[in-house]
A and B are shown apart, each in its own frame.
Chain A
Amino acid sequence: MTDTVVGLKNITKQFGDVLAVDNVSLQIREGEFFSLLGPSGCGKTTTLRMIAGFEMPQIGEIYIKGEPVTHLPPFRRNVNTVFQDYALFPHMTVAQNVGFGLEMDKLPEVEIRQRVEDTLRLVQLPQMGDRRPSHLSGGQQQRVALARAIVKRPDVLLLDEPLAALDLKLRQAMRFELKELQHQLGTTFIYVTHDQEEAMTMSDRIAVMNHGHVLQIGTPIEVYDHSADHFVADFIGETNFIDCRVISCNGETATVLIGDEIKLEVACDQNAAADQPGTVVIRPEKIDLHMKAGNDGQETAFVPGIVENMVWIGTDTRFTVKLAGKVEVVVRHQNMRLGDPLVALRRGEPVYLSWQKMAARLITS
């Protein structure tokens, strides 16, 4: 485990009666962009604050570079934080803000000046050193906060929803800049966000949290395509949840019954007992629409349905299709060709659905 830079071992943190973080263990690897993703109150910010040293866990240990730091104050840990409200010192200039951490390390003034200048150039704010934070735009303040945190070259950079206060356009542009900066620096980033799109586009790995628990840790693709449970599948992207009953299961594939008529073969990670209730999960964009039934071998048997509703969104068309037994399924059909006959479908017309066998998965938890 030499490449683990931050380790959390069975961390539990309680505020009064509220269990904010419940027995969380994480291994964050050297140089990765790791996101803690979850709704507000899920414990992601508390977890980050414990790594920074602003909160102490009641149970568990935190390691940075193999050293236990659980009870060290923030000023004795080689991690730096970008705060959600930036927390720039209003009575200091931009250069004084960025240089504060180096000054605390008692570095010579010449070196401080040089490193502040270099870092401000890195975040594309040269010539801004003499300004006060209050004279900068939100986006510029965000860059100063970033510069102040990276100038000390910490082992780990902690980011607490740093883009939340920016407007949409800037937020999207900053995602790529942050990712690029992380690539250039090679520093481990731990990024807290409630925005699943943000986490998906930037992260190497994501830990999805809810109610103080880590529900799943994985790459964006793993978390999206192999969601561990109902909450993860629901929180990340759009998903169809179809109630079903298990007929048989061998640990890899399962046969399930949807309603009274539709019998399907789906992927299955865990073993499930026969006759157990479950949920079939399938992403809308993974379903193919057909005008006629037919089998090309790769896909499941065609499931007939009736177009219930359709919305044309430009890049794709969003269909709601009603299957037998009043089961409704959302399908996203990409508008690849001009004059696509599927786009001309109207309400009440019959269609057939198919998908790759492994795209539909059984979840029993």
Chain B
Amino acid sequence: MPLNKDASARYKIIDSILNNRRIKHPTMFDLQRILQEQIGKEISTSTIQKDIKAMKEDAGIGFYAPIKYSRATQSYYYSATFTINNVPLNQEEKEALLSAIDLLHSYSGLRMTQEYNNATVKILNTLNEQISSDNYGYIITEQTPPQNGIEYFDLIHNAIKERNPISIVHYNYQKRKFSSLVLHPAYLKEFQGFWYVIAYSEQHEEVRTFGLDRIYAPYQLKRKYIPLDRSKWNQYFKNMIGVLPIKEDMKTVKIQFSVFPQYSDYILSHPIHHSQKVLKKEDDGYILCQVELIPTLELVNYFLSRLSLMKVIKPEPFVQLIADRIYKSIDVRKIKK
């Protein structure tokens, strides 16, 4: 039986009643009264009976609680010293947890902190497991070389949690210029192994995205924090691929693209975005699709990297943006006609 949240809460309360020395002979009535008081809703005696049976016998839950019923006092008790808080994880649960740790280890290649390491070791110690290549290392995620500035992740993360502005020195690759900025960080966002901070910038007087690799020497400041409208930004994130919007208005655009036959199956099974719709399927295998997204540099790059597989058709400004990139990347004079 899966351990649902309500049942889990009831088991804990029943366990605490049976271990409470002040309640000498807890009857079904006592259990019902206390459960209802603590959970705040009506609980039937049949539910409690089922709970007791599950705590005693259910292999899925794995408590095997030694609960007995005394006919003399018409009450419930533990026949041996017991509490469900000391019940170890079963093998399946241990394996599930180890898989989760394995996955975290895999991701932590991008950002390993001492706190994370300590936490992992504590969990494994609790499970009486050792960190060794035998019990993790089966899950592999894309590894990128360490990003410059990743050492500031924890400071920025803390600033977001504590709602503290930060002073940073920022380097702009295009302008080749250093600037001193005060940011009010709201999000850390990862895209393809690189981390970015999304923050209100006092100097730019707007929300901007900054790659951690361009940040130097951040300090948290004791100054009033300017929050972002998180619900609005969560919506933006749902409507964009990547982190660098092309326009500041953050408006979604309907982008239509034709997918060549050799790629159509792939794009149907791996949609670009949840907004992807198929507008037309041609007999020769071509399909016409549409996504509704905030145009980003990463979306432009997505299409540029699939020039032989798909063609963007609408809207014109987005098509032009892709065309400009292609022209810039080749020496048109050398193309044979």
Are both chains from one complex? Answer: no
- Residue numbers of A with Cβ under 8 A of B are none
Q: Which residues of B contact A (CB under 8 A)?
A: none
